[in-house]
Amino acid sequence: MRQPFRRELSNLIERGRDRQLRLAVTGLSQAGKTAFLTSLVNQLRHAGVEAQLDLLPAAREGRLLGAQRLNQPDLGVPRFPYDPGMAALRDTPPRWPEPTRGISELRLQLRYRPAQQGWLSPDIAHLTLDLFDYPGEWLLDLPLLQHDFYSWCQAQPLHSGDQRRALFSEWLAEADTLDPTAEADEAQLASLSEAYAEGLRRAKQAGFSNLQPGRFLLPGELDGAPVLQFFPLPQLDMSKEALEALPSNSLYATLAARFRYYQQQVVRPFYRDHFRRFDRQIVLVDVLGALNAGPERFEDLSQALSQLMHSFDYGQRSLLTRLFAPKIDKLAIAATKADHVTPDQHGHVVQLLEALLAEPLKDLRFANVPVKALSLAAIRATEAREVMHNGKRSPALRGTTLDGEDVLVYPGDVPPRLPTHDFWQQQGFDFPSFRPMGAGSDALTHIRMDAAIDWLIGDKLV
Ligand SMILES: Nc1nc2c(ncn2[C@@H]2O[C@H](COP(=O)(O)OP(=O)(O)OP(=O)(O)O)[C@@H](O)[C@H]2O)c(=O)[nH]1
Ligand SMILES: [Mg+2]
């Protein structure tokens, strides 16, 4: 194809696609996805008026006129509960939006004035943003698609870490003695599956992240269905070939068949319908929460995220992939809830996030995908203050705890690298959970939502 013609065609396609962007908001349970989406809609809806979006040039220059919600493409999927979320935030006292129990979708149309006015360019242009929300627990299942039953069993951290092992102790005591060649006993499978699910629930409660299968934690319409009656086998002393040659009524073959069914009938459709076609991505990580929770859970989060990032297609878009196989060509990684630490610590939070995601970041660099790391608070719950301590000014945070107590705290220093043994020994980091700051009818107050929005969609608003 001749060069000028090719460029022209590419521009045309780019302009066509530009009007629509699918943004993946990725994060494990409680990472802050719903808060991010609620704030995103709120900021963009207030963009033309009182939202504080100075780091987003289109808003700063007064070209971003606002956003409205459109009917989403898939009428079978519930709408993202923006209004209930805002109602909770505007309540007295303000409350956080509810944890997510199922999938919901959202289509936003942004109106803006293009930066450069030519005789062919329109006065007003539109960008449609497709977003969706889901329970973080279900996201944990995406890495399961890369496995067969044998490799899945081996990939589960069943014996690693004292705290984790203790949470699964009842299940492990029986599962460790199972003979994969024995005939499957339905009653035993049902009770062991329930014990495994109970272990996962306890581990989630204790702050662990790397928990599969995710539907065991939040079954939705699958509650009680036999497809959820399986678990990994902790002791596999035989070769894969020998195990796979076992008769279909053996324990191994029965569990493997249920695993396959779960993978193909539950996880694959979820992936196919919602996770395949994205243009941009923001990965939200509750780094500070993990720091608060201790070394074992911190390491567990790092592993869960590394596995997860293999589930997405990254790479520069070519003419063909733009049309037929969209890839994520730009992403942001964000440490959420940055208002849990004083502003002087924000730089360290970003460095720590980069250290936590070191492995996936290497792969992304190799694929030449631009990545920006930042810390943000989608919905602020604290204000930065200064206090006099021993005659010196020190930074502090003022907020209201979930129990309604007004407090002034210094949560501690954030290490700029993966925490050392000494850091964990000193237990140097602690903070309470805060109530969100009330919003009234104004835009929600945030930290660096504008920087995140600019990185993710700013280039489409020129
Ligand atoms: N201080 C502060 N807390 C936040 C912020 N965003 C979220 N949180 C807290 O984190 C909790 C979880 O946030 P959600 O947005 O519900 O998390 P999620 O990723 O949607 O979680 P699931 O729906 O369970 O997957 C909230 O209930 C708040 O307590 C923030 O910007 N600042
Ligand atoms: Mg949610």
Could you tell me the fold of the domain covering 3-139+276-382+437-461?
Rossmann fold (3.40.50)
Percent of the chain at pLDDT > 70 equals 93
Among residues 212, 207, 94, the alpha carbon closest in space to that of 155 is found at 212
For the stretch 80-119, pLDDT in tens is 999 999 999 999 999 999 999 999 999 999 999 988 766 6
Please state whether beta strands 104-112 and 125-133 pair in parallel, antiparallel, or not at all (unpaired). Answer: antiparallel
Is the pLDDT reported for residue 77 higher than 60? yes
Atom 26, ligand 1: which residue's CA is nearest? 96
HSE (side-chain half, CA atoms, 13 Å) at 63: 19
pLDDT for 167 equals 95
Hey, which of 28-42, 150-164, 432-446 has the most confident mean pLDDT?
28-42
**Of 170 and 18, the one with more pLDDT:** 170
3-class DSSP assignment, residue 264: helix
Q: Are 378 and 446 in contact (CB under 8 A)?
A: yes
**86 CA → ligand 1 middle, Å:** 14
Atom 14, ligand 1: which residue's CA is nearest? 32
Q: 């992939």: which residue's tokens?
A: 321
Is residue 155 packed enough to be buried (19+ CB in 10 Å), middle (13-18) or exposed (0-12)?
A: middle
Quick check: bond before 432 cis, omega within 30? no
For ligand 1, what atom is nearest to the CA of residue 38? 15
- DSSP per position, 182-239: SBP-HHHHHHHHHHHHHHHHHHHHTT----SSGGGTS-GGGTT-GGG-----S---S-
Percent of the chain at pLDDT > 90 equals 70
**Least-confidence region, from 41-45, 191-195, 214-218, 307-311:** 307-311
Among residues 207, 234, 456, 224, the alpha carbon closest in space to that of 331 is found at 456
For the CA of 98, the nearest ligand: 1
Hey, which of 74-78, 225-229, 337-341 has the most confident mean pLDDT?
337-341
For ligand 1, what atom is nearest to the CA of residue 35? 15
For ligand 1, what atom is nearest to the CA of residue 286? 10
Is the pLDDT reported for residue 323 higher than 60? no
Say which residues have a Cβ less than 8 Å from residue 234's Cβ, sequence separation at least 6.
153, 156, 158, 159, 172, 175, 176
pLDDT for 317 equals 60
Is the pLDDT reported for residue 16 higher than 50? no
Atom 5, ligand 1: which residue's CA is nearest? 337
pLDDT for 421 equals 85
pLDDT for 235 equals 84
Query: What is the pLDDT confidence band of residue 76, given thresholds at 50, 70 and 90?
Result: confident
**CATH 3.40.50.300 residue ranges in the chain?**
3-139+276-382+437-461
Atom 30, ligand 1: which residue's CA is nearest? 337
| Rounded Cα–Cα distance for residues 301 and 299 (Å) | 5
For ligand 1, what atom is nearest to the CA of residue 447? 31
Q: Hey, which of 91, 95, 96 would you mutate to test ligand 1's pocket, going by the most ligand atoms within 8 Å of its Cβ? A: 96
For ligand 1, what atom is nearest to the CA of residue 378? 31
For the stretch 402-450, pLDDT in tens is 999 999 998 888 999 998 888 888 866 778 899 999 777 789 999 999 9
**379 CA → ligand 2 middle, Å:** 14
Q: Hey, which of 103, 337, 409 would you mutate to test ligand 1's pocket, going by the most ligand atoms within 8 Å of its Cβ? A: 337
pLDDT mean across residues, the chain: 90
